[in-house]
Amino acid sequence: MKLAIFGSGKIVQEFLPLIKDLPEIQVKAILGTKRSQEKTEKLQATYGIEAAYTDIDECLKSTDFDTVYVAVPNHLHYAFAKKALAAGKHVICEKPFTLKYAELLELERLALEKELALVEAITNQYLANYQGIKEASQNIGQLKIIECNYSQYSSRYDAFKAGTVLPAFDPKKGGGALMDINIYNIHLVVGLLGKPQRVQYFANVERAIDTSGMLILDYGDVKAVCIGAKDSAATIRSTIQGNEGSVVVNGPTNTLESYTIESLAGEQETFDNKRHPHRMYDEFKQFSQVIKNKDLTFVKQQLEHSKIVMEIVETALADAGIVLGEEK
């Protein structure tokens, strides 16, 4: 896979050191903004990337890469992915896929029309521990309750309280606890149970953005609560409860550090099947295979999953009266 990276921020700086362990991926180009050109060029030099751009159209004229990794702030995912697809590139898009469900449908249409891959970079779906958690949750009797808590006090919340609104708390840029952090919990639950019957979001809203909140997903016989907080902290873990036992996911739902199976009698066993210490290894390993094999069956399957997540997000935000990506 010959890759262009859109963005040169936090996640890109975390991703680039992983490339040495993925020889099937060659990073050919990186795109940043004019205001931070120096930062982008420093990354270009450090990682031996052939070209650095500050203009997306210039970048997309290059025939030297086949795939774009969209890692810019949330409100730009749709426009940047759309341009990349229009230029005939496969797209790996950071979470959350888009701000609106209809935008994802539009990207899907464009990709499938051109027989291009379009996938969401959502770590948990690809981690070996996720397979283990899925299997374990089928062996604890009838599922009853799922509780995911990903609460992490954000240094950006201090800035927010002081009046500086960074993208992660900016409604216009698709920020908020649901989009930034709770989205991992939603992916975990949807991967286990699919589309819920009902969705409700109870959010703590400050200056038009959810700084924390509880999302209720009602599956009829199973109820799930997804808690995401950037304004407070607690032990980060999730529990999946059945009538014959439970599975505890230790750590955040984007890394799935390990999981513990517990019987009703209290017997416990902890498992960790990680293939690589970097949480992004498994997803990018799989994406490069999918793109190499033009595996559109896999792409369509993952898009069905992502669409359910986006439908949940849209319903939840409307429920809490939060409008993203537009002036209020």
Ligand X SMILES: NC(=O)c1ccc[n+]([C@@H]2O[C@H](COP(=O)([O-])OP(=O)(O)OC[C@H]3O[C@@H](n4cnc5c(N)ncnc54)[C@H](OP(=O)(O)O)[C@@H]3O)[C@@H](O)[C@H]2O)c1
Footprint of ligand X (CB under 6 A)? 7-12, 31-33, 35-36, 71-74, 76, 94-95, 167
Q: Which is nearer to ligand X, 155 or 263 (CB)?
A: 155
Listed residue (185, 184, 227, 238) closest to 204, CA to CA = 227
Q: How far is CA 118 from CA 48, 247, 258, in A?
A: 26, 32, 29
Alpha-carbon distance of 157 to 174, in angstroms, equals 15
- Cβ neighbours of 35 (radius 10 Å): 8
Range list of H helices, the chain: 10-15, 37-46, 56-60, 77-86, 101-113, 128-137, 155-161, 177, 183-193, 281-292, 296-320
Least distance from ligand X to the Cβ atom of residue 140, Å: 30
Alpha-carbon distance of 3 to 16, in angstroms, equals 12
Q: Which is nearer to ligand X, 36 or 268 (CB)?
A: 36
Structure tokens at 113: 């029309």
Q: Which is nearer to ligand X, 167 or 273 (CB)?
A: 167
Nearest-CB residue to ligand X?
9
Least distance from ligand X to the Cβ atom of residue 208, Å: 19
Least distance from ligand X to the Cβ atom of residue 294, Å: 26
Q: Which is nearer to ligand X, 261 or 324 (CB)?
A: 324
Q: Which is nearer to ligand X, 66 or 167 (CB)?
A: 167
Least distance from ligand X to the Cβ atom of residue 14, Å: 6
Q: What is the DSSP letter of 124?
A: G
Least distance from ligand X to the Cβ atom of residue 327, Å: 18
